[in-house]
Structure 1
Amino acid sequence: MHKFEEITTHTKEIFQGKIIQLKVDNVTLPDGNTSKREIIKHPGAVAIIALTDEGNIVLVEQYRKALEKSLVEIPAGKLEEGEDPQTTAKRELEEETGYTTDNLQLINTFYTSPGFADELVHLYFTDHLQKMHSSPDGDEDEFVELMELSLKDCEQLEQQQRIHDAKTSYALLYLKLRGLK
């Protein structure tokens, strides 16, 4: 046993949704005491840093009900069961932006909120975009607006908290460190 490991003694399933599962685990702590952990199970997601030939960042604006406001974000989406993350990334790029690519580079993977969720995001990069001849059908309950902005414009949106999510902030920091102007 690892010195910080918590041993699950009982799990209670609370909710099974279309995207997430919520459970409460009773755990024994490393010091022998017990506690409860509320955990969200998530299938994982992808996000794509996509640059146009002009060096603009491809983004989408969409309403986020949990926040009761719209955010500007890099394209992203949920992994389907058994789907390869790179396949998901290409699909989501196409569905949300009308662009496609055959050149996706995995940048990193990261957990979004490890204190209560197991969602793992696979972050990809491409600067080899092709505009699709016809726009694919997106998700029926997803409404997005395509944006192509400079890094400077994105930084202004961050100041206004219109870009205000971790994956997009991570992406912009990555681009700054790469020297994008």
Structure 2
Amino acid sequence: MTEADGEDKLVRERKEARLSAYATLREQRPELFVNPPGTAYEILLDRADQDRVAREVGELAVAFGFPEECADIGVVYRDPYVTLVRDAVRFRSGRVNTYIRFVTGAPGGGAAVLPVLDDGRIVLLHHFRHADRDWHWEIPRGFGAPGEEGATTARRELLEEVGGEVTEMIRLGEITTDTGMHGGRDQLYLARLASSSFAGTPGPEAREEGIDAFRALSPDEMRAELAEGHIHDGFTLAAWSLATARGLLGPASGA
């Protein structure tokens, strides 16, 4: 076998492995591969179509200086938290291309929780995030375990990152964090905590996760922070918006 033959064999094995993982994901998560009536991007599930799209897009990728595997169809990356999928799709015009998206490991996604003390103050965490290499004021959140209910995920993340005694857990709704890339939804909750159980400073486990401080803000202080653009986290913005819309937070001064 020549060196070129060996490389061709490795390429075929790589593509087959990714398509095999794709087929397994389709069996486990069929909802991710639905083509509803009137869909704007039809997922092509026929192997001949997939091979044709991969070949055409791969040639184009190479012409622009990218590796040919940028066009591989299937599960192109996977770890315990994230699965990165590249689909072959047909647009309404009939044009074909690839479309990449990521899905969480568990069907239920993750959860975030807005902690509210019994005196009405909202607890935020000063959390360093690796993705943008910056600090954020935000609420607790995390990935769900396989088969885990959103409320269980939310309670676990709250106790790990803030601690305290939970007196009530209220489901707020769902959030799709990035409809252009993320194939899933996360659950949002509001948790009421006993003020007497709130430590005020992060413990060792929270610090290990990159949390170095807490703030407990009154509803008016929270509104001011939002208005001044000091809070950027989408989960926090969404949870606060839903809680406000449902009248679960204290009224503004003078209201």
> In the alignment, what sits opposite 1:143?
210
Residue 223 of structure 2 aligns with an amino acid whose one-letter code is E
Residue 8 of structure 1 aligns with an amino acid whose one-letter code is L
The match for 2:185 among 120, 125, 131 is 120
* SS of aligned partner of 1:66: coil
Structure with the bigger percentage of helix? 2
> In the alignment, what sits opposite 2:156?
91
Q: Is the Cα contact below 8 Å between 1:13 and 1:23 reproduced in 2?
A: yes
> In the alignment, what sits opposite 2:91?
29
**CA–CA distance in structure 2, aligned partners of residues 160 and 70 of structure 1:** 16
* SS of aligned partner of 2:117: coil
* 1:124 Cα offset (Å): 0.9
Structure with the bigger percentage of strand? 1
Report the structure number with the largest CA radius of gyration.
2
User: Which runs of structure 2 are paired with 1:66-81 in the superposition (5 Å)?
Assistant: 66-81=131-146
**CA–CA distance in structure 1, aligned partners of residues 198 and 240 of structure 2:** 25
Residue 143 of structure 1 aligns with an amino acid whose one-letter code is G
* SS of aligned partner of 1:27: strand
Residue 47 of structure 1 aligns with an amino acid whose one-letter code is A
For the pair 1:38 / 2:106, whether they are aligned, the reply is no
**Segment of structure 1 superposing worse, 122-131 or 65-74:** 122-131
For the pair 1:165 / 2:233, whether they are aligned, the reply is yes
Listed as ranges, the gaps of 5+ residues in structure 2 are 1-35, 51-72
Q: Is the Cα contact below 8 Å between 1:21 and 1:41 reproduced in 2?
A: yes
For the pair 1:62 / 2:127, whether they are aligned, the reply is yes
**CA–CA distance in structure 1, aligned partners of residues 145 and 205 of structure 2:** 14
Residue 230 of structure 2 aligns with an amino acid whose one-letter code is R
* 1:8 Cα offset (Å): 3.0
Q: Which protein has greater RCO, CA pairs closer than 8 Å, 6+ apart?
A: 1
Q: Is the Cα contact below 8 Å between 1:39 and 1:117 reproduced in 2?
A: yes
> In the alignment, what sits opposite 1:104?
169
Runs (4+) of structure 1 exceeding 6 A deviation are none
Deviations along 1:42-75, whole A, 9 cap, x unmatched? 2421111221121100111101122221000111
Residue 152 of structure 1 aligns with an amino acid whose one-letter code is D
Listed as ranges, the gaps of 5+ residues in structure 1 are none
Relative to 1, partners in 2 of residues 1:169 and 1:99: Cα closer, same or farther, differing over 3 Å? Answer: same
Aligned residues: CA RMSD: 2.6
**CA–CA distance in structure 1, aligned partners of residues 206 and 145 of structure 2:** 13
For the pair 1:51 / 2:86, whether they are aligned, the reply is no
Relative to 1, partners in 2 of residues 1:83 and 1:175: Cα closer, same or farther, differing over 3 Å? Answer: closer
Give the TM-score normalised by structure 1. Answer: 0.84
Relative to 1, partners in 2 of residues 1:94 and 1:159: Cα closer, same or farther, differing over 3 Å? Answer: same
* 1:88 Cα offset (Å): 0.9
**Segment of structure 1 superposing worse, 165-174 or 124-133:** 124-133
